[in-house]
Structures are given as C-alpha cells and as structure tokens.
Amino acid sequence: MTRLDLPSAPRLLLEADLRPIQGTRFQPTGFPDLGAATYRLPDERGTEMLLVESAQSVANRLESAVWDDAEDDLVAPLRGLPYVKVVRDGKALTNSLLEAHRLNSVYIKNSDIFESIRSEIGKSGDQPIKRQSFVGTLCKYDPSCLLHGIFIPEKSTNALRLARALSGFIEARDVRVVSGGGVKNDRVHAGKDASGAGADAGFGNVPYHRDEYTAGSITAYFNLDLAQLRSYRLGADLERLLFGLAVFKIRRFLGEGLRLRTACDFEATTVRVTRLDGYDLPGLGVVAEVLPELIAAVARAGLFATPAITVAHYQEPGKAKPEAAEGAKKKGKGK
C-alpha cells in the first residue's frame, strides 16, 4: 500500500483520548433551553455521561482546520484546492469552506453563479438526480463537500443531498458537576443608574452562575466512510486526495484546534484506530507532504475548476443588480 491509498474497508473508525490542557475542569457545549447535554448509560452504575462537542460542531471545526486566518487563505499544503470565494462590492465577504452550508450558503445562493452550478448538476424537475453530475460538480467547485456533505432543497421532492463521509463528536465519561460563577462589575453604578435603569440596560453589578465539569475520561470519536468515497467513481487520485484531506483535518484539529471555548481547552494524548486491524494512521507531516502532489494530479485530470478559486458576486436580496441600478440612473439623467 502506498502513502494515502484507501484501506480496503467500508469504514475507518478512530478514537483520541483528551485531557484538559490546564487543571481538571472544562466547559462543555450548551444548548438553548437545555444547557449541557448529560445522560446515563444503561449499565449497573448508571454512569454519568456528557456530550462535550456535537457532531455538527466537530464538522465545523474540521472544516475550519484547513483555513489560515492570519493569511486569509488555505493552509499552505492545500493551496490549489477549489472553493468558491464570495465578494460584495469588490471586497471578500466569505467562502464555501467557511460557510456552514458550503455551496448552499445563502451568500452563494444569492450570487451570480449559483444557477450555473445547479445547471451543471443537471437536476431537472422531478427527474432522478444524476449522481455523477452531482458529485462531479461538487468536486469541481468545492471537493470538501464530498467529505462534509451538502443539502440543497428543491421544489420537487428530489432534493440534492449528500451525507457526510467524515463525522465526529466528543463525549466525557463518569462526569461530575463543578458549580461556579462570576460577576460583571460596574465601576460607576453598583446597582441602578440615576434614572433607575439596571441590568437590562447594562448597568450595575450582575452576578451569574456557570456549571463546569470534571470527567474520568474524555474521548473524541471520528468516522470516515471509505465506501462512500469509492462510490463517487471519480478516480483513484481523487479518492486518495479525499482520504488524505480527511486525515489532515483530523490530525490538525487534534493538534491545533482543541481550544473549543475559553474554559474548554484540551490536548490529545493518544490516537488509535478502532476499526481496521493493523492500520497505522499517517501523521500530519506525511499527509502534508503528499497532498500537494495529489491536488496537482486531480487538477491535471480536469476535475477542478480553472482557476481553482471561483468568484461569486453576492447581491443583497431585494436589491437591484449593480448593472440594473446603473442603467436606471443613466435613464433618469436623460429625462
């Protein structure tokens, strides 16, 4: 097996042991009207469990692992990988790699290229989706969609849908609550101001409570659907690229992206393969060395857009297009 060849298995399952980088406490993700997501296992002890990071949140963090905020660009080993860059009034606004819905981002849907992308997909009315056109178009404009999935609603029942091939979550076992809190201090008015305005208006000292947790163990889980990658039928180089990209995201997330919140900062101590006997997961350095070669090979095969970065011009819904507004302005001057 050469570097980054897909293992011959339907799934690759990974686990990573985590621990707080300082101290013992951590703050899990919270949900509206719920707070922390705790539950008990159906074992003799009724072991207390905690969802530290949801599948949706881990997907977002894996996607952001490829972006260099300081350079406002892809990290160096991945440059040349296609994506859609959204501009407004000539200035960069966002892009498909950072948007939660990828190519179905509202900023791309309300741009000058979205209908062209849908046309390339080849969806027509109630006709079945042409899968090869669908995955080929996703690959052309943003191959990350082939890892993280996409959902494009249609008027008919046959929506354009692709499930995640890469997913993950973090949970903690045998947890205990650590109740704490703090206070927002007002140096001028400890209570209400002279008009009687209080905390609702931002005045006064405001105490608050917050629950943090300790845990017997914290584990990050990852699931890569290798069978789905093969089902795209876009060639061995693309399969290897997607596999390498998935490993890169996982390795970089575990190495640099585990500061989930101010009070939730982890480090990975052990990464192990739990389904694929005898397989050693490539390290970040190995993957980073091979990915540029694979990106170039897939580009030469004509599977990527040229240039790789497609520019989409976003138009605020309800506003006239710039050229239409300009034409109306000139028409008014002629009267």
316 against 133, higher pLDDT: 133
Residues 226-264: b if buried by 16+ CB within 10 A, e if exposed: bebbeebebeebbbbbbbbbbbbbbbbbbeebbebeeeb
- Determine the average pLDDT of the residues in 141-159: 85
Mean pLDDT across the chain: 88
Q: What is the pLDDT of residues 66-122, one digit of tens each?
A: 999 999 999 999 999 999 999 999 999 999 999 988 999 999 999 999 999 988 987
pLDDT of residue 288: 96
Q: Alpha-carbon distance 319 to 269, whole Å?
A: 52
Between residues 90 and 127, the one the model is more confident about: 90
* In the predicted structure, residue 282 carries a pLDDT above the cut 70: yes
CB atoms within 10 A of CB 95: 25
pLDDT-derived band at 293, boundaries 50, 70, 90? very high
Tell me phi and psi for residue 126, to 5 degrees.
-90, 10
Cβ distance 54 to 169 under 8 Å?
A: yes
Does position 296 have pLDDT exceeding 60, yes or no? Answer: yes
Given a cut of 50, whether residue 325 has pLDDT beyond it is no
Q: Which residue has the higher pLDDT, 315 or 231?
A: 231
Question: According to the model, what pLDDT value does residue 331 have?
Answer: 45
Q: What is the pLDDT of residue 60?
A: 93
pLDDT of residue 201: 74
**Taking Cα atoms as reference points, which of 190, 191, 148 lies closest to residue 60?**
148
Residue 321: band (very low, low, confident or very high) from pLDDT cuts 50, 70, 90: low
Structural contact between residues 254 and 246, judged by C-beta atoms closer than 8 angstroms: no
Tell whether the model's pLDDT for residue 318 goes beyond 50: yes
**Dihedral of the alpha carbons of 101, 117, 86, 103, in degrees to the nearest 10:** 10
The band of 188, judged by pLDDT with boundaries at 50, 70 and 90, is confident
pLDDT tens figures, 5-38 = 888 899 999 999 999 999 999 999 888 878 899 9
Report pTM: 0.86
Region of 174 (left: φ > 0; alpha: ψ -120 to 50; beta: rest) is left
User: Confidence band (pLDDT; 50, 70, 90) for 334?
Assistant: very low
Instruction: Locate the domains of the chain by residue range.
Output: 11-182+207-316
Q: 182 pLDDT exceeds 60?
A: yes
Question: Tokens representing 130?
Answer: 């042409």
Check residue 124 and give its pLDDT. 60
3-state SS class at 199: helix
pLDDT (0 to 100) of residue 157: 56
The whole-number pLDDT of residue 129 equals 78
